[in-house]
């Protein structure tokens, strides 16, 4: 039973990855704005295998990074992974269901897009399924505008609220607030972006229902973000706006390296450094 669920989720993450890559390449094809003289971008895939933790014989699995450097997408990574192993002592205490038995399986999809245009928001989406002696889903998606645009943020949140409400009326307010709290740059006292939803340890006891919600988060992202990109990708921007974007990206780096649990978790569990740090923007300024 459990193995079927691992296969089902891993298959879904790969399928979603394929659909997202196709949709993003379509945006590259349609583009007519700046850098239009460059060829439309295409994803390149690279697989990696995970070594066992030091001192552990068991371990393994791996993932596939799909990266594109295009004319709309300055740098976008869509990574899937399915890894298994044994948590070390430090992590056992922190991870639900791992205290007595440190074995784990973790599968997921993780996406970060940094855009050429400062008028197109950056975006992050991640969903995952974790199995220890317990099992749960986690994930979310959030928008990081470089120049505030209330309409984009509204459209993004509206779509997420509609999806959440189909599953549980309590989800959107709870997961929106969780997102606001999580993606907060403490030392600057400012949010990373315009928010979205964030959830973890999701296990209602009804696995098919939870998995359906997680799939819907993925498809909602797929249906919504390209609309926002399409709305702005052909607009012209100024050098000053581009500069503001590069500075704003610095805040993104600060958050990811100082506070993001996924980044710390990945680096501490001998994750694939390139896959973990693909979230970092292609060009950044701290003037």
Query: Considering only 58-66, 132-140, 195-203, 274-282, which stretch makes contact with its own copies by CB under 8 A?
Result: 274-282
Q: Is 250 in the site for its own copies (CB under 8 A)?
A: yes
Query: Considering only 21-29, 144-152, 156-164, 252-260, which stretch makes contact with its own copies by CB under 8 A?
Result: 252-260
Please say which residue, 212 or 258, places its beta carbon nearer to its own copies: 258
Q: How far apart are CA 213 and CA 130, in angstroms?
A: 15
Q: How far apart are CA 57 and CA 184, in angstroms?
A: 38
Q: Is 259 exposed, middle or buried (0-12, 13-18, 19+ CB in 10 A)?
A: middle
Query: Considering only 96-104, 134-142, 205-213, 277-285, which stretch makes contact with its own copies by CB under 8 A?
Result: 277-285
Query: Considering only 103-111, 138-146, 210-218, 250-258, which stretch makes contact with its own copies by CB under 8 A?
Result: 250-258
Q: How far apart are CA 210 and CA 136, in angstroms?
A: 9
Q: Is 253 in the site for its own copies (CB under 8 A)?
A: yes
Which ranges of 205-277 would DSSP assign to H, the alpha helix? 207-232, 239-258, 261-268, 273-276
Question: Minimum CB separation from its own copies for residue 197, in Å?
Answer: 26
Contact track, its own copies, 209-248, x by CB under 8 A: -------------------------------------x--
Please say which residue, 222 or 277, places its beta carbon nearer to its own copies: 277
With H, G, I as helix, E, B as strand and everything else as coil, classify residue 145.
Answer: coil
Q: How far apart are CA 210 and CA 283, in angstroms?
A: 38
Q: Which two tokens stand for residue 92?
A: 């056992």
Q: Which residues contact 132 (CB under 8 A, 6 or more apart)?
A: 87, 95, 96, 97, 98, 101, 102, 103, 104
Is the distance from CB of 42 to CB of 22 less than 8 angstroms? no
Q: Is 284 in the site for its own copies (CB under 8 A)?
A: yes
Contact track, its own copies, 41-80, x by CB under 8 A: ----------------------------x-----x-----
Active-site entry in 31, 124, 157, 232: 124
Using CB under 8 A as the binding rule, the residues of this chain from 160 to 199 that contact its own copies are: 186-188
Binding its own copies (rule: CB under 8 A), the pick from 158, 212, 258, 261 is 258
Q: Which two tokens stand for residue 77?
A: 């990574």
- 124 noted as active-site residue: yes
How do 135-144 and 122-131 pair as beta strands? antiparallel
Q: How far apart are CA 221 and CA 160, in angstroms?
A: 8
End-to-end CA, the chain: 54
Please say which residue, 77 or 102, places its beta carbon nearer to its own copies: 77
Q: How far apart are CA 109 and CA 12, in angstroms?
A: 9
Question: Minimum CB separation from its own copies for residue 220, in Å?
Answer: 28
Please say which residue, 123 or 159, places its beta carbon nearer to its own copies: 123
Q: Which residues are marked as active site? A: 124
- The binding site for its own copies (CB under 8 A) comprises 69, 75, 186-188, 246, 250, 253-254, 257-258, 267, 273, 276-277, 280-287
């Amino acid at each position: 039973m459990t193995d079927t669920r691992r296969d089902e989720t891993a298959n879904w993450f790969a399928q979603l990855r394929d659909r997202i890559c196709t949709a993003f390449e379509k945006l590259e094809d349609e583009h007519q704005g700046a850098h239009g003289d460059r060829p439309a971008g295409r994803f390149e895939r690279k697989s990696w295998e995970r070594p066992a933790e030091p001192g552990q014989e068991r371990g393994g699995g791996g993932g596939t990074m799909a990266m594109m450097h295009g004319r709309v997408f300055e740098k976008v990574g869509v990574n899937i992974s399915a890894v298994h192993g044994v948590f070390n002592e430090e992590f056992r205490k922190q991870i639900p269901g791992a205290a007595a038995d440190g074995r784990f399986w973790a599968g997921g999809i993780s996406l970060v897009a940094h855009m050429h245009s400062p008028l197109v928001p950056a975006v992050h989406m991640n969903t995952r399924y974790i199995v220890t002696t317990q099992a749960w889903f986690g994930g979310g998606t959030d928008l990081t505008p470089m120049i505030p645009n209330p309409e984009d943020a509204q459209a993004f949140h509206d779509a997420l609220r509609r999806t959440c409400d189909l599953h549980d009326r309590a989800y959107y307010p709870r997961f929106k607030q969780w997102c606001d709290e999580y993606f907060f740059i403490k030392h600057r006292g400012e949010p990373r972006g315009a928010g979205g939803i964030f959830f973890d340890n999701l296990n209602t006891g009804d696995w098919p229902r939870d998995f359906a919600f997680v799939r819907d988060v993925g498809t909602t992202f797929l249906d919504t973000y390209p609309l926002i990109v399409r709305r702005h990708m052909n607009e012209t921007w100024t050098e000053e706006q581009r500069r503001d974007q590069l500075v704003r990206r610095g805040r993104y780096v600060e958050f990811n390296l100082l506070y993001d649990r996924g980044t710390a978790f990945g680096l501490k569990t001998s994750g694939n450094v390139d896959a973990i740090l693909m979230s970092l923007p292609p060009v950044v300024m701290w003037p």
